[in-house]
Amino acid sequence: MMTELDQSYVDRIIPERAAEANKNDFGRVLCVCGCAGYTGAAYFAAQGAVRMGSGVVTLATPERAWPVLAVKLNEPVVRPMPCGADGMLSREALPALLSLAEKADALLIGCGLGRSYAVAEIVVTLIENAKCQIVLDADGINALTAHKDILRQAAQPVILTPHAGEFARLSGLENPQQGELTLFARKMGCILLYKGHRTLIAAPDGRLYRNHSGNPGMAKGGSGDVLAGMLVSLCGQGLDPVDAACAAAWLHGRAGDMAANARSEYGMTPGDLLHFLPDLLKRYNTREW
């Protein structure tokens, strides 16, 4: 059965922030993202997590991307990781990544990581070992093309956030029907957030959700990275992973709609999603301060 997502559905999911809370109450998330060519993706993911309310965001990124990202990002802790001549993470990064993942409440892997054998080995090893909720986006998904079965070994159902191209690469399915998405989620024991004009979310137990926010102004490189950051943030704050996927999809699209209304479908940017998200989230303030 299909559930249509709307504002009231999401309002029931987003918890109030307790007045006496401290940063440890809002999750420590680790983003394993970026490479020398894709610093923007790592920036958007990390800032998506910050703007969605995480207590502490750590970004682990190859040391060749680190100088750029350390300047671009203020709130996240930015950690340089061993890097190959290709500007992507090298195998030597694994011990440090595993140790950071142990301390994380949720883990995002993939935005702008690039594609290489070392990246694929890192993605697989993190999925095998991490105990916390994992969100897999972009090159994190691409890394599984030859290793899909690893998804069944994850400690908790992994959330995958493919666009149509990434899903076709992973599953061999072009233009999948709703039933095929549900079947994939069930067979692989994962949560599938299939991005598009009307994003679909399929849970391993057969539940299916359709998002109705968002507009073509969001069809620009970087929008999906913002969503991945928002999603890992909600996971790190302790939301049920299917609820987190539904809420992130709807809020991301709604922030995009606010950006389009204010700045135009043509001129709005993924950065504008980050800009308008706080205005949207005002409705979850506990009182007028």
Ligand X SMILES: NC(=O)C1=CN([C@@H]2O[C@H](COP(=O)(O)OP(=O)(O)OC[C@H]3O[C@@H](n4cnc5c(N)ncnc54)[C@H](OP(=O)(O)O)[C@@H]3O)[C@@H](O)[C@H]2O)[C@@H](O)CC1
Ligand Y SMILES: Nc1ncnc2c1ncn2[C@@H]1O[C@H](COP(=O)(O)OP(=O)(O)O)[C@@H](O)[C@H]1O
Report the residue number, 56 or 244, with the smaller CB distance to ligand Y: 244
Residue least distant from ligand X (Cβ): 165
Q: Whole-angstrom Cα distance, residue 220 to residue 145?
A: 25
Quote the DSSP letter at residue 57.
E
Is residue 53 marked as binding?
no
Report the residue number, 105 or 137, with the smaller CB distance to ligand Y: 137
Residue 218 contact partner, candidates ligand Y, ligand X, none, CB within 5 to 8 A by sort of partner? ligand Y
Report the residue number, 47 or 237, with the smaller CB distance to ligand X: 47
Is residue 72 marked as binding?
no
Q: Which residues bind ligand Y (CB under 6 A)?
A: 163, 195-197, 199, 214-216, 218-219, 221-225, 227, 252-253
Instruction: Report the candidate in 40, 72, 75 with the shortest Cα–Cα distance to residue 57.
Output: 75
Report the residue number, 112 or 236, with the smaller CB distance to ligand Y: 112
Residue 112 contact partner, candidates ligand X, ligand Y, none, CB within 5 to 8 A by sort of partner? ligand X
2 conformational bin, left if phi > 0, alpha if psi -120 to 50, beta if neither: beta
Distances (CA, A) of 286 to 48, 237, 239, 281: 22, 17, 18, 11
Q: Whole-angstrom Cα distance, residue 100 to residue 184?
A: 30
**Residue 1 DSSP SS3:** coil
Residue 138 near ligand X by CB under 6 A: yes
Strand partners, 77: 58
- In degrees, rounded to 5, the angle at the alpha carbon of residue 225 between the alpha carbons of residues 271 and 123 is 155
Residue 173 near ligand X by CB under 6 A: no
Q: Which residues contact 67 (CB under 8 A, 6 or more apart)?
A: none
Closest contact distance (angstroms) between CB of 270 and ligand Y is 6
Is residue 163 marked as binding?
yes
Residue least distant from ligand Y (Cβ): 224
Residue 139 contact partner, candidates ligand X, ligand Y, none, CB within 5 to 8 A by sort of partner? ligand X
CB 137 within 8 A of CB 245: no
Is residue 169 marked as binding?
no
- In degrees, rounded to 5, the angle at the alpha carbon of residue 26 between the alpha carbons of residues 274 and 144 is 70
Residue 109 contact partner, candidates ligand X, ligand Y, none, CB within 5 to 8 A by sort of partner? none
Residue 215 contact partner, candidates ligand X, ligand Y, none, CB within 5 to 8 A by sort of partner? ligand Y
Report the residue number, 13 or 83, with the smaller CB distance to ligand X: 83
- In degrees, rounded to 5, the angle at the alpha carbon of residue 287 between the alpha carbons of residues 282 and 289 is 85
x/- track of binding to ligand X for residues 35-54 (CB under 6 A): ---xxxx-------------
Binding residue ranges for (6S)-NADPHX: 41, 112, 163, 225
Residues that bind ligand X (CB under 6 A): 38-41, 111-113, 138-139, 163-166, 196, 221-222, 224-225
